[in-house]
Amino acid sequence: MSQGFNALAEKRRTIYALGPALPLAEDDVIALIQTAIRNSPSAFNSQSSRALILLGEQHKHFWSLTKEQLRKRVPADAFAATDKKIDSFAAAAGSVLFFEDQQVVSELQQQFAAYADNFPVWSEQSSGIAQYAVWLALAEKGIGANLQHYNPLVDDDVRQTWNIPASWTLRAQMNFGSVEAPAGEKGYIDDKQRFIVAR
């Protein structure tokens, strides 16, 4: 039985069946998400990660905007499955939209020209770390989550609706809420394929 960090890491799973109930007050969930992102490491402590935290009707509005963009692109006879999937996301309590501020990235590229090619990569890595930190923080409180990628389809709608700065690029969307059904089975590749240990 794992303990400590690895027990929490095992608890964090992709939960698709999410509901609107939260075990904490909304303000506490917001603070939990903000703290997880604030404490996430970033290259040169650049803190390039940004987040839009949506709750309740604002969260539902995001998924309704996403659905309308998908309706324009998914063939009508295949739309029922998409419709159902988006409704399942909207049924959650809220979502965190993760962005990376490209102004931070380009300023670093100018300031440290020798690393110019690395900064966009490090920005993506920082975003992944921030996403994982939030996912773990939510899991620790018993809040389920799943991670989606409807960018760039929804970028313009999000920018206009929530007045997002032009330099922020949307990287991922994380739904969160009550766990209405457990995560599915998860397989693991053989450790021999994955790890080399030398000592």
Give me the residues that bind ligand FMN (CB under 6 A), please.
13-14, 146-149, 183, 186
Instruction: Indicate the residue among 89 and 119 with the shorter CB distance to ligand FMN.
Output: 89
Closest distance of CB 186 from ligand FMN, Å:
5
For 13-143, strand residue ranges (E) read 18-19, 49-55, 94-101
Instruction: Indicate the residue among 13 and 61 with the shorter CB distance to ligand FMN.
Output: 13
Q: Cα–Cα distances in Å, from 22 out to 29, 30, 59, 62, 165?
A: 8, 12, 14, 19, 30
Instruction: Indicate the residue among 12 and 116 with the shorter CB distance to ligand FMN.
Output: 12
Instruction: Indicate the residue among 14 and 103 with the shorter CB distance to ligand FMN.
Output: 14
Q: Count Cβ atoms below 10 Å from residue 182 Cβ, excluding itself.
A: 10
- Are the CB atoms for 151 and 170 separated by under 8 Å? yes
Nearest to 40 by CA among 160, 148, 135, 163: 135
Closest distance of CB 8 from ligand FMN, Å:
13
Closest distance of CB 88 from ligand FMN, Å:
10
Closest distance of CB 37 from ligand FMN, Å:
16
Phi, psi of 24 (to 5 degrees): -125, 160
